[in-house]
Amino acid sequence: MTSAIERIILGISLLSAYIGTVAVTNGQSGYITPMSIPMELSGNFMEPRSDHFHSGLDLRTQGQEGIPVRSVADGWVSRIKISPYGYGKAVYIDHADGHTTVYGHLQQLTGKVGEACLDQHYRQKDFSIDWTLEKGALPLKQGEVFALSGNTGGSGGPHLHFEVRRTGDQVALDPESHGIKLSDRVPPEIHGVRLYPLTDSSKVAPYPEKAVGYAAQGSTGKYTLKSTASAYGTVGIAVNTFDRYDSGSAKCGVRMIEVIVDSVPHFSTKLDHVDFNHNRYCNAHVDYALFKSRKMEYHRCYRQPNNKLRIYGKEAPQGRIALAPGQERQVLVIATDANGNKSELRFTLKGATADEAAKWPSAEPQGSLFRYDAVSRIEEDGVRFNLPAHALYDDAYITYARKPAVGRALSPIHVIGDPLTPLHTTGDLSIAVETPKPAKATIVRLDADGTVAGAVGGKHADGWITAPVKMLGSTR
Ligand SMILES: [Zn+2]
């Protein structure tokens, strides 16, 4: 029989355990939503975008501007940045838990934040400001409205861009693992697989019916491939996968991808943080050419040699799948979304014989081989192109072609490489100019049909005009 005193002690220990659990939850997810309207996404954390991973949530604002925006927790305004580009009007709020929340594309700042910003505008006499504030200068309570949502900066429609960062290193984290809850019972969709030769002797079979990959079939979390995948030698794969939430039709990013070959973990990626210093390596993570040309989200499940992202697991094979002739390997891909919903893709990867592989059509590479880790140059009559080491993510063949000058051009048109070959850093392009007034000459980028797409600029010296370029080929 339990004594009264034992029952009291039991009661207290249960109560304290309960309080303990509540306290932990509060510590991690004590944030409220940044607007009081129902939360619906037009984009989520780390979905691939042009030259970067998205660093926050894009929250719909009912198709309009002017929705009140509030602080998700107690804190203080640490930075106000106003620019015609990027996040437009943006407010950064630091919180005592070591995180900073960021609110972007705002229409206007209101209340004391609006007044303080107006003062700063008068002081700076400039529309664009980037103002760092002292702790305590502009405190905000949880739920306090400080702005109205808008469509400022690089925004394609009214919405609120909301971000959670670690204050110390400004690395962006998933707001969904920091208190923002969204209804999501839908597992990721898997649409296809591509294979990539990872050695000089490896070869990949042509895809069925001139497709760009092996199409997946299935639904509700279980997928297979419509046809047998086959390759010769050592290959890597990329998986076309994305996620959706319960409400809204937006294509969003997955949180994790794992590749298991014959029950052995081969590769994993956890898309759980954005280091802004490395964010452009998104171009190496996805199949850039298909992302740019067809908006397909093929996540590479191996690392291109110049990919410095720290989102990959330590599995020994690092996604390199070796295929002996005639060997059949069982591949399992698991894609997991931000809310733990999982999809599986299972397929057989068949190792071809040398005779079979010899019959596969393969285009002879055109142009000169640029090694990703070496300086590369093109020098032709009237043009020089210098690409530093580590501007490419992998070795690539770069072509050169010359077309006659058009219109008022002072030089022929030089076509260097393909715009679907991504660059991480700029290369130096120099074009010879022979004109009485070279100081007015500038390098311009042309689109594929020869019209001017934009000025690149350039410095003049010794009959040459030189400018840094961060994109190969013509604008598409
Ligand atoms: Zn955004």
pLDDT at position 291 is 97
Q: Which two tokens stand for residue 454?
A: 């934009």
pLDDT at position 18 is 32
Q: Is 80 exceeded by the pLDDT of residue 107?
A: yes
Q: Is-contact 385 391, C-beta < 8 A? A: no
What CATH topology corresponds to 41-177? Answer: Glucose Permease (Domain IIA) (2.70.70)
**Mean pLDDT score, 136-155:** 96
Average pLDDT of the chain, as a whole number: 91
Task: Give the Å distance between the CA of 162 and the centre of ligand 1.
Answer: 7
Residues of the chain with CATH 2.70.70.10: 41-177
pLDDT at position 436 is 60
Distance CA 241, CA 82 (A): 35
Task: Give the Å distance between the CA of 263 and the centre of ligand 1.
Answer: 38
More confident residue, 26 or 373: 373
**Mean pLDDT score, 324-329:** 97
User: Which range has highest mean pLDDT (332-336, 407-411, 444-448)?
Assistant: 332-336
Q: Is 90 exceeded by the pLDDT of residue 3?
A: no
Task: Give the Å distance between the CA of 60 and the centre of ligand 1.
Answer: 10
Instruction: Look at residues 76, 46, 50, 74 and name the one whose alpha carbon lies nearest to residue 58.
Output: 46
pLDDT at position 433 is 84
Q: What percent of the chain has pLDDT over 90?
A: 80
Task: Give the Å distance between the CA of 363 and the centre of ligand 1.
Answer: 40
Task: Give the Å distance between the CA of 51 and the centre of ligand 1.
Answer: 14
Task: Give the Å distance between the CA of 218 and the centre of ligand 1.
Answer: 31
Instruction: Kindly indicate the confidence band of residue 264, based on its pLDDT and cuts at 50, 70 and 90.
Output: very high
Instruction: Kindly indicate the confidence band of residue 410, based on its pLDDT and cuts at 50, 70 and 90.
Output: confident
Task: Give the Å distance between the CA of 270 and the centre of ligand 1.
Answer: 20
pLDDT at position 15 is 35
pLDDT at position 66 is 98
**Mean pLDDT score, 29-45:** 93
Q: Which stretch of 9-18, 72-81, 200-209, 358-367 has the lowest confidence by average pLDDT? A: 9-18
Task: Give the Å distance between the CA of 114 and the centre of ligand 1.
Answer: 22
Task: Give the Å distance between the CA of 107 and the centre of ligand 1.
Answer: 15
> Residue for token digits 């991690």?
28
Q: Is 80 exceeded by the pLDDT of residue 155?
A: yes
Task: Give the Å distance between the CA of 471 and the centre of ligand 1.
Answer: 24
pLDDT at position 476 is 67
pLDDT at position 438 is 60
Task: Give the Å distance between the CA of 18 and the centre of ligand 1.
Answer: 37
Taken in order 304, 306, 310, 314, the sign of the CA dihedral is positive
Using a 10 angstrom Cβ sphere, with 0-12 exposed, 13-18 middle and 19 or more buried, the burial of residue 201 is exposed
Instruction: Look at residues 81, 142, 87, 91 and name the one whose alpha carbon lies nearest to residue 113.
Output: 91
Task: Give the Å distance between the CA of 43 and the centre of ligand 1.
Answer: 7
Task: Give the Å distance between the CA of 359 and the centre of ligand 1.
Answer: 47
Q: Which two tokens stand for residue 72?
A: 């998700």
3 state DSSP class of 116: helix
Radius of gyration (Cα) for the chain, nearest Å? 27
**Mean pLDDT score, 287-303:** 97
**Mean pLDDT score, 276-299:** 97
Task: Give the Å distance between the CA of 58 and the centre of ligand 1.
Answer: 5
Per residue in 415-469, pLDDT (tens digit) is 999 999 999 999 999 999 876 666 678 899 998 888 888 889 899 888 899 999 9
Per residue in 177-235, pLDDT (tens digit) is 998 999 999 999 999 999 999 999 999 999 999 899 999 999 889 999 999 999 999 99
Task: Give the Å distance between the CA of 294 and the centre of ligand 1.
Answer: 21
Task: Give the Å distance between the CA of 87 and the centre of ligand 1.
Answer: 8
pLDDT at position 474 is 80
pLDDT at position 29 is 53
Task: Give the Å distance between the CA of 7 and the centre of ligand 1.
Answer: 54
